[in-house]
């Protein structure tokens, strides 16, 4: 993990611009989420993008082809209430540089992800607690991304439920 870097904001803005060039969507429907969106929070250098559409489940193949044209590919990841896409470092498709979370605009997933981001941005103690937890989990579950993510989700849900 690395500490907050200005380049993360720049990289988000670049990919947002790329998305806006290939699909017709309100710019407000593309949000920077995840740890790289929270100033002062350590994060893996992977940019998380929230993309809200009317109904993510009914997006036509042309939508995904447009994203593919800018290097954003749909993953075979099964998640509730979202489709996950990714951008990679190079043509080997081994290292992710971005995740795009395609969700229904205004739906529960959209609301929860923004609620968590905004809470950590506004509450220093919660941000510090989350950073401490992330380092602890990295040490505890080194090499087990699934378990690391699962344990973080417990904290995330507790914040969302409290807000």
Segment 8-60, tens digit of pLDDT: 999 999 999 999 999 999 999 999 999 999 998 988 889 999 999 999 999 99
Residue 146, Cβ neighbours under 10 Å: how many?
8
pLDDT at 77: 86
CA gap 152, 157 in Å, rounded = 9
| pTM recorded for the entire structure | 0.92
Tokens representing 159 are: 């914040």
pLDDT at 79: 86
> Going by CATH, does the domain composed of 6-122 fall within 3.50.50.60?
no
For residue range 59-109, what is the model confidence (pLDDT) as tens digits? 999 999 999 999 999 999 888 899 999 999 878 777 889 999 999 999 999
CA gap 22, 136 in Å, rounded = 40
């Amino acid at each position: 993990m690395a500490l907050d870097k200005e380049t993360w904001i720049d990289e988000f803005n670049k990919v947002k611009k790329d998305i806006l060039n290939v699909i017709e969507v309100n710019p407000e429907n593309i949000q920077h989420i995840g740890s790289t969106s929270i100033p002062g929070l350590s994060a893996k250098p992977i940019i998380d993008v929230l993309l809200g559409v009317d109904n993510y489940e009914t997006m036509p193949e042309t939508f995904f082809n447009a994203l593919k044209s800018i290097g954003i590919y749909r993953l075979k990841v099964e998640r509730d209430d979202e489709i996950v896409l990714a951008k990679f470092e190079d043509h080997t498709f081994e290292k992710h540089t971005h995740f795009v979370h395609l969700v229904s605009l205004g739906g529960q997933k959209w609301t929860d992800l923004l609620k968590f981001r905004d809470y950590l941005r506004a509450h220093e103690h919660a941000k510090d607690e989350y950073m401490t937890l992330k380092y602890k989990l990295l040490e505890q579950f080194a090499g087990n991304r699934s378990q690391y993510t699962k344990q973080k989700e417990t904290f995330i849900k507790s914040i969302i439920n409290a807000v």
